[in-house]
Amino acid sequence: MKKDLGLVQAVYPMPVLMVAAYDAEGKVNVMNVAWGQICDDDKIILFIGEGKKTWLNIMESKAFTVALADEKHIDVADFFGIASGNRMDDKFERTGYHAVKSDKVNAPVIEEFPVVMECELLEHLKDEYVSGIVGKIVNVKADEEVLDEKGKVDVSKLHAAMFDQFRNGYYTTGEKFAQAWNAGKDLMKK
């Protein structure tokens, strides 16, 4: 029997995404976004509140990067979620992390995070309920140590961070237990 829990953000897992953009002077800002998702083969949507420093930077620069946070860097990833770039001028510098300019878009690539998507701003979706930033994924970069022998990202090496909205915890990706587009194929025969 199920028990009523009331209003709970009951989607798990949530990604731990590091969204980075330059301001008008070329200064790096990074924020932690859990409310983001791939929305097409080459598109991503991020639900970022208007007025946040990174949101303002994306609107100005028309580009951003989205990195996957991992277990090894969760302290800084969490910091990027609790510190506001609007109130902390040296937010990025405090971490000691390194950014290089993307060679594909006008946005910073944070070198410490192992996988990053380089994106161009396509659209800002706004209505009374949601503020969404839609980006076109132009390219993906990954550190060699998280790739398999075929050059694809191996999530067992990545140790990507996942956010648990039930208990406000971070977890890492686990073991593969089934093959997508295959685990349910026997039901297609019925």
Spans of all domains in the chain: 14-189
pLDDT over 80 at 49, yes or no:
yes
pLDDT over 90 at 11, yes or no:
no
- Tell me the pLDDT tens digit for each residue of 142-164: 999 999 999 999 999 999 999 99
- Tell me the pLDDT tens digit for each residue of 111-125: 999 999 999 999 999
pLDDT over 80 at 190, yes or no:
no
pLDDT over 90 at 16, yes or no:
yes
- Tell me the pLDDT tens digit for each residue of 66-112: 999 999 999 999 999 999 988 999 999 999 999 999 999 999 999 99
Which listed CATH number (1.10.150.120, 2.60.40.10, 2.30.110.10, 3.30.70.1430) goes with 14-189? 2.30.110.10
Residue 60 confidence (pLDDT): 96
- Alpha carbon 143 to its chain centroid, in Å, reads 16
Burial of 143 (0-12, 13-18, 19+ CB in 10 A): middle
Residue-averaged pLDDT of the chain? 94
Contact 100, 116 (CB under 8 A): no
Select the more confidently predicted residue: 188 or 101. 101
DSSP state of 69: -
Model pTM? Answer: 0.93
pLDDT over 90 at 173, yes or no:
no
Determine the average pLDDT of the residues in 26-32: 96
Residue 67 confidence (pLDDT): 98
